Amino acid sequence: MLGAFANAFRTPDLRRKLLFVLMIIAIFRLGSQIPTPGVNVGNVQSCIADVGNSGVYSLINLFSGGALLQLTVFALGIMPYITASIILQLLVVVIPRLEALKKEGQQGQTKITQYTRYLTLGLALLQATGIVALARSGRLLNGCTKPLLHSNGTETFLVMVVTMTAGTAVIMWLGEQITERGIGNGMSILIFTQVVSRFPTSLWAVGKEKGWWVFGVVVVIGLLIIAAVIFIEQAQRRIPVQYARRMVGRKMFGGSSTYIPLKVNQAGVIPVIFASSLLYLPAMAAQFNQDSTSGWVGFINTYLVKGDHPLYMLMFFLLIVFFTYFYVSITFDPAEVADNMKKYGGFIPGIRAGKPTEDYLSYVLSRITAPGALYLGIVALIPLIAFVFINANQNFPFGGTSILIMVGVALDTVKQIESQLQQRNYEGFLR
């Protein structure tokens, strides 16, 4: 990995792209530290130090690099865009119009991207309204009695909501600039930046609170977890595909061999995001409820808020397994793949084209999805288990969504850098 970056900096055009990405990251981190107008910064910092991070917003706070609870300009982070992208992916399967746009190629994809932007702004407006309302009422940080805002007036409320929504729009623009003029997927790199930004603070907190021998054990275990995640993320089942020779006009086509790569973790980090989002919705509803003596509010506060209860862990694990199978089923269609193979004269050796190929692909996919779902569930539970055994906070650095995002984005970015290096250094047969 380090060799790829060193070689990239020796190539002038790649060096310009990497420096451009670093400049965008610096702007992004700066916006994550600038407080929204109307925020009492001193009280916010004091409350975070006293009561810690809220478990209800741990996922959004993770994707914002801690900016959410500090009520900065980029407080919402990339979460509205992630949610909008997931919703559009699900709607493509349900709405025929969106499915037709997807099949139109680049033009249709551009239209879907435009819909994603509009939905992102709508979700950002709703989330900003909810977060500012909780901050104004004093329920954003449970246990904190200090006012988080200088004024509870309507004008301050509207200014904060508009500022946070505009910050989300700027984040979208920054991500698109990285994708167009830099290297890698812009949104993924911004998520990676926010997740990595919390690692030094989290590791320092472990060493300071639990002792440096615990810090050393955590680092060793973390490196082992990263190695295991890299191994699983790279694992795939390659299904061989043979294309028959066919005559088109006066030319002969086909006769080549290739394969269909089916990853063990075909769904990526999406099931963890789905499960986390679904579990924090009841906790958020309970926080908005004024009647703290209500039975269902007490049940949620006992079992679904802190995340250290066995019932919460079991529900989290089962939801991840369910959403893994669900997401894989809507993103990989064996019937469509089998139909395309038959259309272009491809077949799996030993398997007849058509329905037998579809059944075979479904069989293989269901078998490799099982270990992938268990792997996601176990990795996602690591922070919760650490919370129980060493009393770590819920932003325990090694494990869960953070490790999956870090490893996935890092591997994808390095692959793209190596691909561009090969294109520039390939000499060919003719000189």
Question: Domain-by-domain residue ranges, the chain?
Answer: 1-197, 199-398
**Which DSSP letter does residue 397 get?**
S
pLDDT < 70 positions in the chain: 1-5, 49-66, 142-143, 245-255, 284-298, 301-308, 386-400, 424-431
Domains 1-197 and 199-398 share a fold: yes
Question: Quick one: pLDDT at residue 56?
Answer: 52
pLDDT of 205 reads 76
Phi, psi for 148 (deg, rounded to 5): -85, -20
Length of the chain: 431
Dist. CA 44–CA 37, nearest whole Å = 13
Torsion angle of C-alpha atoms 187, 98, 109, 345, degrees rounded to 10: 120
pTM above 0.85, yes or no: no
Report pLDDT for 411.
84
CATH for 199-398? 1.10.3370.10
**Fold topology of 1-197:** Preprotein translocase SecY subunit (1.10.3370)
